[in-house]
Amino acid sequence: MFNPVSKPVIHIINGFLNAHGGSEQEALYLGRLLGERSDVRFWSSSSRVSPELASQYGIRKIGPGAGNRPDGGVYVFVGAHWRRRLWPYLSAAPARLIYVFNTFHPRILSLTSAHPPMLRWPKTEYVFISEFQKQLLGVPGEVQPSPIDIRLFAPAPGPRTSSAPLVIGRLSRDTADKHDPEDIALYRRWAEEGAQVRLQGATCLRDALDAATAAGPNVQLLAEGTMPAADFLRSLDVFYYRTGAHVETFGRVVLEAMACALPVVCHRRGGYAEWIRHGENGFLFDSTDEAREIVASLMADPSLRVSIGARARETVESMYSSEAVERRTRFYLSGPRVQVPGASDH
């Protein structure tokens, strides 16, 4: 039976492989924002969907069977694509086709920019998560920073105990491409100088850090997901970030750290650099020597850490103000609305 509803139906499609992944968190929070005014359904484009995420958010694996695939409405692909799959040929054409391009892979761009004419799908609309990324790819599209719940990523209450050792840390996926080999020497040096170095998502560095055993317990390696991201960030005094082969087209963890009122010290290569004003709300470096000097100044000056962190928080509050979030949300809710049979059923 045809069941008309007043809300648009929006299908959000992601691999949903990693419960701690930035792309997954981006897709889920986007769904929460849009869910206030639309019927949002989460789909996994992969058979390896995280059981934790599937259970918590009702994510379904896409398949060719009826009821197991998006079938009309608005399709929002977040870091996933539809090519080389059977289900699009069995589904109704979407009213809009939106691709949130949260990575840098020109090959995937070519896969998503065109589709077989027999699908009769509308032209792809791109959402890029930074001007840095948009310029690299050279394709027209909307630019929206990756959505972040800054109520969750709030500053730690009250000042840290002055006698406690300074904590320098970072957070990422636990893969080698997320780490720069030159940072090993920096971690050793900071630990030897009395700071505590806390790295979550860095057990892949364990062998490389064996040479730093003289630092002892001052270097702490945590597995990915050991602590909730917000709690981990609030345990730090300084956030340090540089990647290896991986290029951050946005780097939401940097903005999450800024939301927690941390002074961030980041390599200049990445989309997050658009939001950091060097020496005002954070620091950018090009070389290891520059990174060492910046962190040394922060270690020696508690008031500098506090002032930079406060301005970092102000920056993020401006980026994710209710007015800014409303503008970005309207982009997804505009355009034609297609009613879907059974749209109110979950």
Give the CATH number of the domain where residue 109 resides. Answer: 3.40.50
The residues pairing with 101 across neighbouring beta strands, listed in sequence order, are: 128
Q: Answer yes or no: is pLDDT of 123 > 50.
A: yes
**In angstroms, how far is CA 244 from the centroid of its own chain?**
17
| Pair 217, 101 in one domain | no
Residue-range definition of the domain harbouring residue 214: 167-319
- For 193-232, the pLDDT digits (tens) are 999 999 999 999 988 887 544 456 789 999 998 999 999 9
Q: Is residue 339 part of a domain?
A: no
- What are the helix (H) ranges across 193-278? 206-209, 229-234, 252-259
- For 70-101, the pLDDT digits (tens) are 999 999 999 887 777 888 888 888 999 999 98
Res. 139 pLDDT band, cuts 50 70 90: confident
- For 282-300, the pLDDT digits (tens) are 999 999 999 999 999 999 9
Residues 6+ apart with CB under 8 A from 130: 143, 145, 249, 250, 271, 272, 274
Res. 132 pLDDT band, cuts 50 70 90: confident
Q: Residue 33: what pLDDT?
A: 92
Q: Answer yes or no: is pLDDT of 1 > 50.
A: no
- For 154-179, the pLDDT digits (tens) are 999 876 666 789 999 999 999 999 99
- For 13-69, the pLDDT digits (tens) are 999 998 888 889 999 999 999 998 999 999 998 889 999 999 999 999 998 888 899
| Pair 117, 204 in one domain | no
Q: Is residue 342 part of a domain?
A: no
Read off the pLDDT of each residue in 320-338 and give the average, rounded to a whole number.
Answer: 83
Based on its alpha-carbon atoms, the radius of gyration of the chain, rounded to whole angstroms, reads: 22
Tokens of 70: 């998006």
| Pair 139, 202 in one domain | no
Q: Answer yes or no: is pLDDT of 8 > 70.
A: yes
Q: Answer yes or no: is pLDDT of 341 > 70.
A: no
| Pair 226, 283 in one domain | yes
Q: Answer yes or no: is pLDDT of 105 > 70.
A: yes
| Pair 98, 212 in one domain | no
CATH value at residue 276: 3.40.50.2000
| Pair 112, 197 in one domain | no
3-class secondary-structure state, position 24: helix
Residues 6+ apart with CB under 8 A from 247: 104, 269, 270
Q: Answer yes or no: is pLDDT of 323 > 90.
A: yes
Total structural domains in the chain? 2
Res. 5 pLDDT band, cuts 50 70 90: low
| Pair 185, 82 in one domain | no
| Pair 214, 298 in one domain | yes
| Pair 122, 175 in one domain | no
| Pair 106, 250 in one domain | no
Strands, E, within 102-193: which ranges? 124-128, 142-143, 167-171
Res. 343 pLDDT band, cuts 50 70 90: very low
Location of structure tokens 């999450």: 256
Q: Residue 7: what pLDDT?
A: 83
Share the mean pLDDT of the chain: 88
Q: Is residue 155 part of a domain?
A: no
